[in-house]
Chains A and B, each alone.
Chain A
Amino acid sequence: MQSNATLEYDYSLAKKFTFLTILFGILGMLVGTLIAAQLAFPELNYLLGEYGTFSRLRPVHTNTVIFGFTVSGIFATWFYFGQRVLKVSMAESKFLMVVGNIQFWLYFIGALLATISLIFGVTASKEYAQYEWPFDIVVVLVWVLWGINIMGLIGIRREKALYISVWYYLACFLGIAMLYLFNNMAIPTYFVTEGLGNPLHAVSMYAGTNDALVQWWYGHNAVAFGFTVPIVGMIYYFLPKESGQAIYSYKLSLLSFWGLMFVYLWAGSHHLLWSTVPDWMQTMGSAFSVVLILPSWGSAINMLLTMKGEWNQLTDNPLIKFMVLASTFYMLSTIEGPIQAIKSVNAIAHFTDWIPGHVHDGVLGWVVFMIMAAIFHMAPRMFKREIYSKKLMESQFWLQTTAVVLYFTSMWIAGITQGMMWRAVDEYGNLMYSFIDTVAVLHPYYMIRALSGVMYLTGFLMFAYNIFKTMTAGKELTAEPQFRTPMA
C-alpha cells in the first residue's frame, strides 16, 4: 500500500456499474410493463411474433431485473462504499482494478447474451434460474471475480473492523454462490453422450419433488441473498451517511444479521405448500417464515430508529424520504410474506395474483427505491457535481410511490378474488366458476397494474434523466459533501 497523503477513492468501477444498473433497470422495467399490459390486453402478445409473447418475455423481465438491475446495483454500491468503510482505495491495487474491469466486461457481455438467449427460447425452465449452462458458467466466473475483489479489498484494508454492511455483502456473495451452484447442477447431455440433445441444453441432476425442493430452496433464498441481504447492507451504509446519524443500535444490526442468516434458509419450502413434499417440511417452511418477521423487523426498526430526533430531514431531504419509504416497504413485505406462508392463507393465495403483488411491493418499494437512493447519494461524489434537480426527484418519488400502491392494492384484490372464485362451490359441491370467469372479473385490476407499470417506468426514466443531467450539467462541487447530498 502507498502512503495515503495523496490518495483518493477510485470510483471508476462504481460508475461503470451504475450505468449498467440504469440500463438494465430501464430494460427490465420496460419489459415488465409490456407483459403487465399483455395480461390486460392479450393482443399485445403478437407484436413481435414468437419473440414478443408473454412466455418469452416474462423470464426476460425477471432475469433482467434480478441479475441485471439488482446485481449491477449491488456491484456499483460495493465498489463505492466497500472502499470507504474499509478506508482503502481501489487505486492502491492494480490487480484488483484489473480483476474488477474483467468482471465488468464479462458481466456486461454475458448478461446481454443471456438475455438474447431467453428471447430465443433457450431456457432451463426453472424459475429465476432459466439461464442455460454456458451462461451459468459465465455467472459463476463473474461471481468468483467479484469474490476476489471483496476478499482482496478486505485483505488490504486500513479499517480493521468490518462494518456491518460488509458482513451483509459477504453473506450475499457466499449465499448466492452456494445457491446458484447447487440449483444449477445439470448435465449437458450432448457432450456426455454421443450427441444426444441440444448442445445448449442441460438436464437437471435432480428429479421430481427433489428438483422442486432444491429449486425453491434456491428461489426463495435468491430473494434472501439478492433482494434482502445486500439491500439491508446498502441502507446500513447510505442512511447513516446521508442523515449524519450513526445506526441506532449496532448490536441490533449484528443480531438481526445472524437471525436472518439462521432463519431465511429454512423458509423456502413455503413455496411448495399443499404440494407433494413431506408435510413436516411444509410446516417447517411455514414456521420459519413466521419467525422471519423478527430479524426482518429488527433491521427495519433499526433503520427507522436511526432517524430518531432527526425526522425533520424527512421533509427537507428527498433522499431520506426514498430510504425511509424503502424500509417501510421492507416492513410491509416482510409481514405480508409470512402471512402468505401460513398454510390456511396459502390455500387461497397460492398461484393467485396476490403473489406477484407481494413480490412487487418488495422489489418496487424496497429494492428499487433503495438502489435509486444509493445512486442519488453516490452521483455527486462520483461525478463531483450536485444533483441536477430536487424537484424532479420529488415528483419521481410521488409518482413511483403511487404506482407501487396501485400495483399491490390491485393485486391484493385480484388475488383474493381469484383464490375465492377458484374455491367457490354450489350446494351440490360443483365448482361455481370456470377459469375464464375469473379472467373477466380480474380485467380491471390487470389494467390498473399495467397503468402502475407505466407510472413506475416513467418515474425510473425521470431518475435516469436526472442522473444523466447531474453528470453532464449539474453544478460542479469544489469539495466532497460529508453527509447530506447537495441538490439544485
Chain B
Amino acid sequence: MTIDLKGYGDDASTATLARAPGVRVRDLTVVYRTPLGELPALGGVSLTIEPGTITGIVGESGSGKSTLALSLLNAVQPPGRIASGSVEIDGLGDVVGLAGEELRRARGRHLGYVFQAAQNSLNPLKTVGKQVLDLGRSHGVADPRALLREARALLERMGLDGGRVLDSHQHQLSGGMRQRVGIMLALVLNAHLVILDEPTTALDMITQSTILRIVREVHQERGLTTLMVTHDIGVAAEVTDHLAVMYGGRVVEHGPTMRVLGAPSHPYTQGLIRAIPRLSGDPSEARALPGRPPTLGTLPVGGCVFRERCPERMAVCETVDPPRVTHGERTVACHAVEQAHDRAETAGYGPHRLDTANHRTGREELT
C-alpha cells in the first residue's frame, strides 16, 4: 500500500502519511451568515471513515454534502464557517484547528480535492505543466523534474497523452480530459485522502464511466481513502464501498453501500430508493418523495429534520433530534428504526428484524 515518495525531497511528516488515513468527523456544525442570522448548513455531523475505503456521500441539493466535503479541508467559504466540532484525519490531527501555512501545506500534499468537471479548475493562462510546477514550488518540492514525470505518468495511467496534456491550456482539453487533469493535480503531491465533489456531473455517459473506473483503480493502486460527493445513487453504487446519506445537514444513514442500498433503514433512504425507476418491471412503480427538501431557512428547529416528509412520523420526532445509533457496520439516526430495533431485541429475534419496516412499505428487496 505504501507508495514511493522518495525523490521529492519530502519532509519527514509525509512518511507517516504514506498510507490511507482514516477520518473521524465529530459533531461538526457549519453555519452560514444570512440576513436572518446564522443558519446551520451542517447540524452536528458525525461520520467515521475507515482507512482505505471509498465512501460516497449522497443527498439532494442543499443537504450539505459539498459543505461537508469542504470542511475536510477546513475550506468552508465565507459567509460560512465551522462553528464547532472536529475533523480528525490520521497524520494531520484536527484540521479544524489548522490555519495559515500549516493548513495550506496540508492541502494538496495530504488532502487532494477534485472539482466538478464543469467547473474550470485550471488557470486559463497557463499550461497544465506550468501549473504542476507552480504546485511543486508552493509545496517546496525539491525535484521539479521528478514531479513532472510523476504528473505525466499519472496522466498516462489515466489513458491520456501525458506530454501533450502537460503542454496544453485548459481550453484545449475536453471535459473528460480536464477531469483527469483534476484528478492528477489532486494526486501528484501524493495525497492519500482524496475528496471528489460531483466528479462526473456534466460529463457524458461514456466519459462518466471511464472516470469512475479510473477513480476506482487509482484508489486501489495508490492505497487511498476516497470520499466522493454525488447526487447520483447509481454512480455511488458503482464505485463506493461505503455510503453516507445526508439530509438537511445531517448524515441520516451510513454503512456498506450494498447493504444501505439493498436494505435501507432510514425512511429517507427508503424513499430515495423507491424514487428510482427500475429497468425491469413497471416504471410507474417509482414514487417520488412527497414534499421538498428543506433549505437553510426552512430547516425545522428541534426534532427530526426529516419529519415533515416522513411516513413513519411519531410524536417523539417533533421534539427530539434522533440520535445516531450504530449496529454492527451500520449507523442510522431515526426514532422509528430505533424502536423497531429495540422491539426486535427484546423479542430476541436479532438485528435482521430491522428490515420489517421495509417490508411494511411494500418495497422490493434488492440484495
A complexed with B: no
Q: What residues make up the interface of B, taking CB atoms closer than 8 Å to A?
A: none
Q: What residues make up the interface of A, taking CB atoms closer than 8 Å to B?
A: none
